[in-house]
Structure 1
């Protein structure tokens, strides 16, 4: 596993959508960028101090030309990724430190601060185009729903809200009930029909979009500590529809299948230090997943070693089942021939019973390894 030391705690990371470049936002106010090759061998690209205070959030424009950085100094910084130079700083765009930023479309940027204020921006304009104040505690994460043009935000106040960016109303499209726990991270799965939310107590709350946003429909326990980061799996893997990656404050990066739920495995270990953020390169469709936390290093894990081996095991299991079924059919056919020769009266008597292909031996302790 490639480990990239940076010399300071990392609050956030972002991968370039088309190039092998990763950017890190640090506690000391710096942005450090690194290039990497197919083997994970890295080298420094540039280092830039954007503030004397911490850089908490990073987001790249969809074309990768600009990097947006936010942090404790309440300002919005724009970095030219081609030159590694600071191209613009918009001072004091929030009244409180900014905790996270997302850039889902070319003309939409969203920022969320420690007081729960969310602002929408058109990067071509200097001022925010809309502001939301439905939350009263820090904004922890954003999720973009392309089909409905909706932005979902999670908050430390225990609720999530859904904003229709096409609407000019200052109120959200939907606002959940109090989940009685800090909501720290969010990711869609099952073709964006369901949403997983990580919480402070280690529960993953499941929301079903077809049933509304008022309350979760299921809760998945098992993590011994908070679930600070969630990430979807690249769509190229057969198991991507119901598989997510979870970063926890116990320092472990896990692969988990949902509905039905099982722990696939632990793929990265940051020791006893929390994992703050996780991200996958190539706009979420690449082979490298980066995880960062309090250990002052970026850890990169090759997803091919995780999921292609898992898919191979699944394929082998299915092939073995088919061979067993074929063997059973041949044996049964031979048995019927013998019975005809012997002129037995009951052709079905004594036929071996095959195990159903969908029959499984359920193990209720799937999270015992957590």
Structure 2
């Protein structure tokens, strides 16, 4: 699909949960909606500018009927996605610029600002219902746990926290230790039992829900730059529950798998521009992934084409390997036939088709005399052809054993006794 040019930097993007529409929050304060199709064509649905200041964060309702936008204006705007009109505004919702918003339930919204303040909003009321101040730096990302009604937030202060929205307390039920690095993004893995957190240093920190939220249980390096955004890979393309998409400041959108850790491939390349936001359409289970950086365009990449090509390459490689192994086996059979035929031709002796038991020593002397006689009768050839040794059959069990590595040390156990 061709890139969607918007003329200014994109701060956030979000897809309609059931329709082929993407919404963009721009540096100029505009909120633009674009429709797209499977043939790569797109058109603009609407454009609205609730504020002249930048729009940093977007959230959409589960049914797709309402869109919320927030940013440097410190206000939260509610927009009707059908008409593109502003239907409600919470002015001065925060004291500083709002960095993230998240729709939790049909009547509950969360927002986080540059000072680390988190607020919960009841859509039926005109003011926030709770305020949390346990973070002291910007809120970078939100994750909603539907099964436990908990909100997980990551912050630039190096910690993540867990808020139970059903509790009336204004303190989190859990907060991690200082990870000594900015936490920028979070994504669930292993069916929501573990979580991967992107950091400023390019390390993925793994948190285990069952082990508590006090500290990460693993750190996985590999990204050369900061991991600014994460998104789950749709189940149709994910080989396991530990595969997701990473957007890094080096401009590459990657598909990464954990346990074992490996790079499945590069999905999109933004060149020298860092990737700020990524999202998958159709509620995270679609075929299009949108990625936005600083180059003033939205890239829409077809996951079906990316992973279909990988599957075709794997199939072709498997077929080639099968053909090579089949050819080797045929060559081996032909070599065995030649060997068996050459084994039967011995100068001075008649060919013996069936293999017989070795004769006693007394009966072996005539055969030796016959061999000597055959040697005398072939003086014109000069050399007597010797009988070839039969090729030793391979043991199928030993054939499956791996050879030792180059740096492997083989030593008796007694070698380590005196160390």
- Cα deviations across residues 82-103 of structure 1 (Å, max 9, x unaligned)? 0011111110011111001111
- The whole-number CA distance in structure 1 between the counterparts of 2:219 and 2:153 is 19
Deviation of 1:308 (Å)? 3.1
* Structure-1 residue corresponding to 2:32: 32
* Structure-2 residue corresponding to 1:161: 161
- Answer yes or no: is 1:264 the counterpart of 2:264: yes
The CA RMSD measured in Å over matched residues stands at 3.1
**Change in CA separation of 1:238 and 1:299 when aligned onto 2, cut-off 3 Å:** closer
Superposed counterparts of 1:1-370, under 5 Å = 1-311=1-311, 350-353=394-397
Q: Is the CA contact (8 Å cut-off) linking 1:234 and 1:240 kept in structure 2?
A: no
Deviation of 1:350 (Å)? 3.9
Deviation of 1:207 (Å)? 0.8
What's the secondary structure of 1:191's corresponding residue?
helix
- The whole-number CA distance in structure 1 between the counterparts of 2:280 and 2:239 is 16
What's the secondary structure of 1:109's corresponding residue?
strand
TM-score w.r.t. length of structure 1: 0.87
- The whole-number CA distance in structure 1 between the counterparts of 2:55 and 2:92 is 14
Q: Is the CA contact (8 Å cut-off) linking 1:2 and 1:301 kept in structure 2?
A: no
**Change in CA separation of 1:314 and 1:243 when aligned onto 2, cut-off 3 Å:** farther
Q: Which is strand-richer, 1 or 2?
A: 1
- Whose Rg is larger? 2
TM-score w.r.t. length of structure 2: 0.77
What's the secondary structure of 1:266's corresponding residue?
strand
- The whole-number CA distance in structure 2 between the counterparts of 1:48 and 1:36 is 19
* Structure-2 residue corresponding to 1:334: none
**Change in CA separation of 1:237 and 1:270 when aligned onto 2, cut-off 3 Å:** closer
Q: Which runs of 5+ in 2 are unaligned?
A: 333-353, 358-392, 406-419
Deviation of 1:237 (Å)? 2.9
Deviation of 1:356 (Å)? 6.4
- Cα deviations across residues 268-301 of structure 1 (Å, max 9, x unaligned)? 1112111110000001010000001111110000
What's the secondary structure of 2:128's corresponding residue?
coil
What's the secondary structure of 1:95's corresponding residue?
coil
Identify which range, 281-290 or 144-153, moves more after superposition: 144-153
Q: Which runs of 5+ in 1 are unaligned?
A: 332-340, 363-370
- The whole-number CA distance in structure 2 between the counterparts of 1:104 and 1:324 is 55
Deviation of 1:51 (Å)? 0.5
**Change in CA separation of 1:117 and 1:318 when aligned onto 2, cut-off 3 Å:** farther
**How many residue pairs get matched?**
352
- The whole-number CA distance in structure 2 between the counterparts of 1:311 and 1:210 is 35
> Structure 1: which 4+ aligned runs deviate by more than 4 Å?
311-327, 341-344, 354-357
What's the secondary structure of 1:129's corresponding residue?
strand
**Change in CA separation of 1:41 and 1:176 when aligned onto 2, cut-off 3 Å:** same
**Change in CA separation of 1:158 and 1:342 when aligned onto 2, cut-off 3 Å:** farther
Deviation of 1:321 (Å)? 9.4
**Change in CA separation of 1:115 and 1:22 when aligned onto 2, cut-off 3 Å:** same
- The whole-number CA distance in structure 2 between the counterparts of 1:146 and 1:85 is 30
What's the secondary structure of 1:168's corresponding residue?
coil
Deviation of 1:238 (Å)? 4.5
- The whole-number CA distance in structure 2 between the counterparts of 1:342 and 1:167 is 88
- Cα deviations across residues 233-292 of structure 1 (Å, max 9, x unaligned)? 112235141111111111111111111111111111112111110000001010000001
- The whole-number CA distance in structure 2 between the counterparts of 1:283 and 1:45 is 19
**Change in CA separation of 1:189 and 1:356 when aligned onto 2, cut-off 3 Å:** farther
Q: Is the CA contact (8 Å cut-off) linking 1:116 and 1:136 kept in structure 2?
A: yes
Deviation of 1:16 (Å)? 0.4
